[in-house]
Each structure stands twice: as C-alpha cells, then as structure tokens.
Amino acid sequence: MSEIRHERTILQQRDLKLRIATYIVTILITILVLSPFIIWLTTVGYTATGEMTERSELQKFIANPLKRILRYWNQVVAFCESPLLISLRNSVIVTGSTCIGCMYISALTAYGLTAYEWKFRKALSTFIVVVMMIPTTMSYIGYYKMVQDLGLINNLAMVIFPTVASPITVFFMKMYLQATFSRELVESARIDGAGEFRIFNKLILPMLKPAIATQLIFCFSQSWYDTYLPAILLIKDEFRTYGVAYSIYVIKPMIITVAPPIIAYLFCAKHIVEGVALGSVKQ
C-alpha cells in the first residue's frame, strides 16, 4: 500500500514539474506576443522616430481633455480630406470583394466536389491537391505581363481575381464538408421542392460556417496587408491600397491599420478551432 502511494507521489511530482514548465513557457510567450500591443495602447501618439521620452497621448489627454478633443477633431477633418481615405477605400473594396468572392466560390466548389458524382470529379480533386502546393506568387511574372498586354494596369479588379480562386481554401472546405455532409438532408430538401442553388444557400452555407470563419480570417489578413500584387499592378496614387501606401516602414501608429483584422478575428474566433477540429476528422 505504502509503495503504491510512494509511486503515486513520485508521478504527481513529475506532473507538477511538467505543469510548471508548461505554464512558464505559455505565459512567457503570451506576454512576449501581447506586449507591443499593450505598450502601443499606452503610447499611441509617440513620434515618428520612436522616441519614448515624450509624454504619451493618454497622459496628455488626462492633463488637458478639452484641448485634446479639439485637436483630435482637427485631425479627423484633415484625415477626411487626405489621400489616406482614398487608399482606405481601395483597400476596403479589394479586401471585401476578395473575401466574399473567395469564400463563396470555394464553398461552391467544395459542395460541387462532394455532393455530385460527375465524371472529372476525382481528376479535379487531385488537381487541386497538386496546385495547392504552388505558391500564388510563382505565377505573378506571367500575370504581370498578361495584365500589361491587356492594358489593365491600375484596375482594382485585376488585384482581386487571382486571390479569389484559392485551392488551399477549397481543399480545407472539402475536408470539412466530407466530415459533416449528409445526403439525406439534401434529398429531403429536394423533395420539398427546393432548387439546387437554394439548397446551397440555405442549407450548406450555414453548415460550412466554422470552415468559412477559419479561412476568412487568414484570407482577410493576407489581403489587407498584401503589398506584392497591389504594388506592381496599381501604380497611380489614386489606386494605391492602404497596405502599399502606408507600409511597414512608415511608423504611423493608427488604429485603422490593425483594427479591421482584429475585429474580423473577434467575430470569427468563436468558430475557428471548432472548424479546424471537425475538418481534420476525415480527409
């Protein structure tokens, strides 16, 4: 009896050591990762050279609220007339249409590949798996030449189209749909007289919500911060996107840059892990 107890205490001690080690590592990484955000929140207005000696915006605000509010108002007015707003509009157009288009088309393709038995289904599935491994940046030289020949440089649609068709998203959604799809549901909807597009919009899209949330956040942040394709295709100032106009090297800490992805993440966060978990059940 005493031997068993002794053994158990040894095991518990080992567990305790491991637990402490895990907690130390996770908390250290969490602090490291979140620290710039916390520092940034408390020193919003520090100067372009990164001098931390100046008083932070928060402190200034507490010292003289009315004056600060008036100054902010002026900044807002100046902002509304600046080229920043134009670049922001372009970014919203590009990111919005990329996300909506990519999600809808990928979901459609995944559904078409799982639900119907047509001739080239297997061939297309293997094609998607093969093509998934090729980075999209690989084809950009040919794409640039193509757009140049067509005379469509400085056209926002040309930035949207190549990112809309994303094989990796299709593969992920197909993985998820294969695990959750039920043919009986679709057949019962057919008996009730629903058309195929209606079945997809009303039944399959809500079913795919977790997978869409997972892929949406990656698609959104990639498209919002993308500097490669917009930089080579959108040359004129009035077509610049936000990521190109205010790139990483311009220290201009503004909440506009980081707010959209974080808000999108907060909206999707609930579904994200669930989505991946179910998607990995089957292949």
Partner 1 sequence: MTNRNNISRHYTKWGYIFVLPFVVIFLAFNFYPLICTIWYAFCDLRRFDNPGPRFLPTIGEPWYRNFQQVFEAVSFRDAFKNTLMFFFATTIPEWLLAFWLAAAITDRRLGIKGKTLYKTAFIFPKLISGSTLSGLLLEHLVMFTASTVGFVYVAAMINGFGFEMQDFKFFFSNRFLVIVVSVIIHFGITFIYAVAGITSIPVEVFEAAEIDGANRPQTFFHITLPCMKPIMFFISVVALVDGLGTSDVPSAFGLFDTLRLCLTMNMYIINQAYMGSYIYDRASAASLILLGLIGIGALVIYFVFIRDKDEAKLRKMIRKEKREAKRLKETA
Is 75 a binder of partner 1 (CB under 8 A)?
A: no
Number of Cβ within 10 Å of residue 161's Cβ equals: 14
Q: Judged by CB under 8 A, which stretch of 51-59, 63-71, 72-80, 217-225 contacts partner 1?
A: 217-225
Supply the minimum distance, in Å, between the C-beta of residue 34 and partner 1: 6
- Print burial letters for 175-208: b (CB count within 10 Å at least 16), e (below 16): bbbeebbeeeebeebeeeebeeeebbeebbbebb
Q: Which helix (H) or strand (E) holds 80?
A: helix 65-80
Contact between 260 and 224 under an 8 Å Cβ cutoff? The reply is yes
137 binds partner 1 (CB under 8 A): yes
| Amino acid in the structure at residue 240 | R
* Residue closer to partner 1, measured from CB, 56 or 221: 221
What is the rounded distance in angstroms from the CA atom of residue 5 to the CA atom of residue 142? Answer: 70
d(CA 268, CA 162): 24
Among 108, 156, 194, 203, binds partner 1 (CB under 8 A): 108
Token code pair at residue 169: 């998203």
Q: How far is the CB of 210 from partner 1 (least distance, A)?
A: 11
In the complex, what is the shortest distance from the CB of residue 193 to partner 1, in angstroms, rounded to a whole number? 14
Question: Is residue 251 at the binding interface for partner 1, with CB under 8 A as the rule?
Answer: yes
Nearest Cα neighbor of 95 from 163, 177, 168 is 163
Interface region with partner 1, contact rule CB under 8 A, candidates 51-59, 79-87, 89-97, 125-133: 125-133
The residue within the footprint of partner 1, chosen from 3, 51, 81, 117 (CB under 8 A), is 117
User: Considering the rule CB under 8 A, would residue 58 count as an interface residue with partner 1?
Assistant: no
- Contact mark string toward partner 1, 16..55, x via CB under 8 A: --xx--xx-xx--xx-xxxxxx-xx---------x-----
